[in-house]
Amino acid sequence: MPKNLPLLIGLLATGLVAGLVLSELQQPSAPAASTEALSPGSLPDSAVSDEERARANAERDDMALELAGLRARVEQLENPRTRSAATETDETQESVVFETIPNAGERAKILAVMEAVEEERRHERDLRRTEKQAAEFLRQATRIAERLSLPTGSEDRIASILITEREKVALVREQYRDVSRDKQGRTAYRDALRATSAWRQEELARYFGPEIAESISASEDKRARKKNDKDRSGKKKNGKTGA
């Protein structure tokens, strides 16, 4: 894994948390931090270390095993045949079966384990998705830096700016999700997206100068248009197939 990939993963994870907070509060989020606050070194490289991943996987496996045992126990007790057989036994056997029925505390434990396992699975999926996105941003920034013959290390700065812009756009979409259907809402939504693009341009110009910033923005806008066209084409095909 490239040494700068943990930083980019951290940036995406920061945006993910911000999106979840915004969804809970249902109110406009504070302005996203500038890339100065997200510069290399501001996040620990151990954020996605092999040791942490191994520990998380081990904890998840332990919980999964415990959950499997608890589920098997509940299924056995809830099986009609098991219950029927139990009622046909003597009082001693019935007493044993009764004593094995989970009480409220055990049921709460089962629920807690199930939720913990599901949370671990969501975390693992989010981590894989974040790693994939960070790697894609870095490849994209590297191609831009090579094409423009920029100094070594420029790809890290470009990727950082593009990642932050992406998270800003995600927050704007979440903020205007319920108000962008009327004319006033659509106008406000477009203005917010333009402000995000303007922020990207300013950041690029601050580090690389106006001309190079314009070239980077043009390249990114072109890539975004191609992606949007591809997505729309895919939706149309799926619609025809569904019809």
Q: Can you give the pLDDT at residue 202? A: 96
- Say which amino acid occupies 115: E
Q: Does residue 29 sit within a domain?
A: no
Reported for 219-222, long-range contacts at CB under 8 A and 24+ positions apart, including other chains, are 219/144, 219/147, 220/140, 220/144, 220/162
* For residue 159, pLDDT beyond 50: yes
CA pseudo-torsion sign 116, 51, 125, 30? positive
Evaluate whether residue 60 is within a structural domain: yes
pLDDT exceeds 90 at position 96:
no
**Banded model confidence at residue 238, pLDDT cuts 50, 70, 90:** low
**Can you tell me the distance from the alpha carbon of 148 to that of 212, in angstroms, rounded to the nearest whole number?**
8
Listed as own residue / partner, the contacts of 140-147 with beta carbons closer than 8 Å and 24 or more positions apart are 140/220, 140/223, 144/216, 144/219, 144/220, 147/219
pLDDT at 90 over 60: no
Token code pair at residue 132? 């994939």
Angle, vertex CA 76, rays to CA 71 and CA 77, nearest 5:
100
Give exposure, 16-42, as e/b (b: 16+ Cβ within 10 Å): eebbeebeeeeeeeeebeebeebeeee
Answering whether pTM is above 0.75, one says: no
- The predicted pLDDT at position 10 comes to 53
Judged by average pLDDT, the poorest of 62-66, 76-80, 113-117 is 76-80
In this prediction, residue 3 has a pLDDT band, given cuts at 50, 70 and 90, of low
For the chain, percent of residues with pLDDT exceeding 70: 58
* 57 within domain boundaries: yes
* 133 domain residue, yes or no: yes
Higher pLDDT, 121 or 86: 121
Residue 27: inside a domain: no
The pLDDT of residue 53:
76
Alpha-carbon distance of 239 to 28, in angstroms, equals 34
Mean pLDDT, all residues of the chain: 72
DSSP labels, 71-94: HHHHHHHH-HHHHHHHHTS-HHHH
Higher pLDDT, 114 or 86: 114
Compute the distance between CA of residue 144 and CA of residue 124 in angstroms, rounded to an integer. Answer: 30
Residue 28 falls inside a structural domain: no
How many domains would you assign to the chain?
1
pLDDT in tens, 196-228: 999 999 999 999 999 999 999 988 888 878 877
Q: Which two tokens stand for residue 221?
A: 């806008």
Burial of 72 (0-12, 13-18, 19+ CB in 10 A): exposed
What pLDDT, on the 0 to 100 scale, is given for residue 60? 75
pLDDT band at 58 (very low <50, low <70, confident <90, very high): confident
User: Tell me: the pLDDT tens digits for 5-51?
Assistant: 555 555 555 554 445 434 444 444 444 444 443 444 444 444 456 77
Is residue 163 included in any domain, yes or no? yes
Helix axes 154-175, 183-208, angle to 10 degrees: 170
Q: Which domain holds residue 151?
A: 5-12+36-236
User: Could you read off the pLDDT of 121-158 as tens digits, one per residue?
Assistant: 899 998 898 888 889 989 999 999 999 999 999 999 99
Q: What pLDDT is stored for residue 201 in this prediction?
A: 94
